[in-house]
Structure 1
Amino acid sequence: MTERFPSQGHEVPDNQAEGGEQSVDFLSVEEIIAIFDDVKSDETQVVELIRQLALEPIPDLNDQEEVARYNEKMRLVKDLALQHLGRANLLAELQEKIDEKIKSSSPNIDN
């Protein structure tokens, strides 16, 4: 059985390591880099979309229907931004952990 990383389409075999943790030892460095690049690309596209939506003009305040639609759209944009902020923070944490592991396993390499 396989599962996919969200929005990247990378298939990952459903195998369990000891202790019930997901094992990713089978991924090559190139595959891991491709996954991170895909995530960064997705984040960039979402940021651009949010930026464009945030620049839309405010509707005529006398048109309550348009104001309600605008407010709902901005609420959704805010929710989207918060979701992707969380993903971006998680990605940064993962990259930091990877960098720490690289440094601890290769003390002669300066990054």
Structure 2
Amino acid sequence: MLAGSKAEGTDLHTVVANQLHIDRGQAKLVQSSAVDFLHLLLVCMEWLCAEYSIPARFVISIHDEVRFLCSEEDAPRLGLALMLSNMYVRSFISSKLGIEQLPLVRCFLLGKVIAQHQ
């Protein structure tokens, strides 16, 4: 091993594989799916922010977290847009896998949040 290079087994795919008890090739698939989810989520957020005139900016994405910036006044609408985006993307991916329903608890909690802001 070259001096200054990463220690063996510390790359992202190996770490994910070890955590999930799967082989390294399967870890690449898991990581790739997470990136696809993130891309779909960001596109959906861009669309919802434009559609409902929510002045917000995407700031950063770290692992499984995304951060947006908006005024305090627009924060509830942006939060709702993020929840809707999450549900839309989950629905899309589930549909592509042949799963035509989401767990009821996801929709129920979102419905509760929407009702509180009306």
TM-score, normalised to structure 2, is 0.33
Structure with higher Rg: it is: 1
More strand by share: 2
